Structure 1
């Protein structure tokens, strides 16, 4: 019998990630679910987790809109897989186990941030540059 580990569940999410990334509807649903769940993680005292997810959500949204494309397709698949893992209520440690259920999610996100740190940092720098160059209309 195959052991249920974080790696096994994450690999299942990677298999689904390509299809989700190709579908605007599925990507939109994923982004919405991830945003909803970040408010839950904030309530449980895992603000850093929520901040990480929000950065990934903004990256996926900008990628899908075509605003930001300076990230590899392979990295986007990993990011989408990470978000799929995050929103899935049933994974290596089910989310209904308060506290412990989000620790495996945090582990997956930490892996993503470590593995893709240069691409995520580049996106965040691009975001800051975009904010600085955006001129707000007069009231």
Structure 2
């Protein structure tokens, strides 16, 4: 019998991630769910976790729109799998356990940020450059 470990749940999410990434409606649903759940992270004192998720959501949105493609498909699948893990209420540590329910989510996201740090940093640099180059209309 398989143990309910973070790795086992994450592997299930990786199996679903490619399908989600290929479907605009599924990607949109994932993005919405991730954005909604970030409000929980702020309430539980995990603001940095919420900020990381928001950065990943922006990356997924930019990738789906075709604005940003300087990232491998394999990395995008890992990002989507991490977001799927984050939004899933039932994983290695169920989210309804106040105080500890988001700890496994934070672990998965910390692993992702460590593994893909250069690609995520490159996106954030690109994002900042895009933001700085946007000419705001006069008031």
TM normalised by structure 1 equals 0.99
> What residue number does 1:85 align with?
85
What's the CA shift string for 1:49-90, capped at 9, x where partnerless? 000000000000000000000000000000000000000000
TM normalised by structure 2 equals 0.99
The Cα shift of 1:138 comes to 1.9
Once superposed, what is the RMSD of the aligned Cα atoms?
0.5
- Describe the SS at the equivalent of 1:100: coil
What's the CA shift string for 1:83-102, capped at 9, x where partnerless? 00000000000000012110
> What residue number does 1:30 align with?
30
> What residue number does 1:70 align with?
70
> What residue number does 2:42 align with?
42
- Describe the SS at the equivalent of 2:135: coil
Cα distance in 2 between the residues matched to 1:118 and 1:91: 28
> What residue number does 2:128 align with?
128
Cα distance in 1 between the residues matched to 2:10 and 2:136: 41
> What residue number does 1:94 align with?
94
Tell whether 2:2 aligns with 1:2: yes
> What residue number does 2:57 align with?
57
- Unpaired runs of 5+ residues, structure 2, are none
Q: Count the aligned residue pairs.
A: 139
Cα distance in 2 between the residues matched to 1:120 and 1:65: 17
The Cα shift of 1:124 comes to 0.2
What's the CA shift string for 1:11-33, capped at 9, x where partnerless? 00000000000000000000000
